[in-house]
Amino acid sequence: MSSSPLATGTNPGRLKAKPTIYDIAKAAGVNPSTVSRALNKPERVSAKTRQVVQNVARELQFQTNPHARALGTGRTQTLGLILADITNPTFFDVLRATQSAATTWNYTVLIAESAESPDLELNAAHRMHATVDGLILASPRMTDDSIRGLDATKPVVVVNRDVEGVSSVVPDVTSGIGAAVRTLAQQGHDKIAFVSGPQQSWMSARRWEGLQKAGDWSRVKTIKLESTKPTIDGGRKVAREVMGTGATAVIAYNDLLAIGLMQELQAAGVEVPQHVSIVGFDDIFGADFTTPALTTIRSPLAACGTTAATLLLKKINGEESTDPHVHVDTELILRGSSGPALTVATYTRRHP
């Protein structure tokens, strides 16, 4: 009686054994310990060795087991990224840059969103806690104490917000808002409306403070308006209130609000920028797709994502950062939605 193909190993369809770090070490011509460092702590080996090991690992279709690794090292090689609104293009560059930076350290990124809710955000953070090595909170809505509580148990880095005692990456609004207000003042605008973001948004408050200071310096009156939500629909809903202020220029908390405001005003026959100049914030993908293209204050969101991930990974690996609170400059991007102010008399003559 012939033996079973499975017993003799002659079955051509038999599954191949999963490759191990010893297989990688043999193929790459290095020690197994070097393979382990290249895959788990890539910063501890040379770039050349890391590349060789990673190339061989891919060729052998090697896959790490995060749960098994966590039992031995306490690490899952996973980062958590919690976004205030996953549908907001503002976060696209943050997400992509975070993932790219994590990949160079052989980390995976898990994503959750809070839908602008502090409670949902904190719940998501607690659920992620057991499965990630650290958290990035992008525009968090929870309290400072909640963020510090999370950081006390696992490393946390915050984007778009300063929290005392917690590492952060924050776009400095001073340069961008200052340039926007100076430009609008030079164009004859003497009253600027600010359409704010969510009440719990730390960044919205900083942008309003920055606008007030820049307005005082340029002798331009500033007025704050609330929005229902930081979306295109929110921008549409605040349009009538904007017109009621008599402001000839508007700076919105973000580009989505600015785009919605522009759409609603144009639908009502109000010309942009001939009657009202509109300036957004962040310079999201598509900001220049509008007609006219949107003038905006650019936040370096990709740089924020890269810096935040790098800070977090260094914290996870016990490396002291020389600057745990990083500020990056913003800049004014002039496009067609802003221009010289018209006097009321001039506008009336053109639109009797």
Residue 312 has pLDDT above 80, yes or no: yes
CA distances (Å), 9 to each of 1, 3, 17, 22, in order? Answer: 16, 10, 12, 22
Mean pLDDT on 99-113: 93
Q: In what order do the strands lie in the sheet with 277-282?
A: 221-225, 191-195, 249-252, 277-282, 295-298, 331-333
pLDDT tens per residue, range 35-93: 888 877 777 888 888 889 889 888 888 876 655 555 445 678 999 999 999 988 989 99
| Residue 16's pLDDT band (cuts 50, 70, 90) | low
Give the three-state DSSP class for 113.
Answer: strand
| Residue 343's pLDDT band (cuts 50, 70, 90) | low
Give all domains of the chain, ordered by start, each with its CATH number: 5-63 (1.10.260.40), 74-170+301-327 (3.40.50.2300), 172-299+333-350 (3.40.50.2300)
Q: For residue 65, what are the contacts with CB-CB under 8 A and spacing of at least 6?
A: none
**DSSP 3-state percent helix, strand, coil across the chain (nearest 5):** 45, 15, 35
pLDDT tens per residue, range 133-174: 999 999 999 999 999 999 999 999 999 999 999 999 999 999
pLDDT of residue 351: 41
Numbers of helices and strands, H then E, in the chain: 15, 12
Mean pLDDT on 214-221: 97
How is residue 107 written in tokens?
């980390």
- pLDDT higher for 10 or 222? 222
pLDDT of residue 71: 45
| Residue 8's pLDDT band (cuts 50, 70, 90) | very low
Mean pLDDT on 17-22: 80
pLDDT of residue 1: 42
CA distances (Å), 158 to each of 137, 234, 261, 311, 312, in order? Answer: 5, 26, 30, 10, 9
pTM over cut 0.85:
no
pLDDT of residue 352: 42
Helices 144-153, 118-128: crossing angle, 10 deg rounding: 0
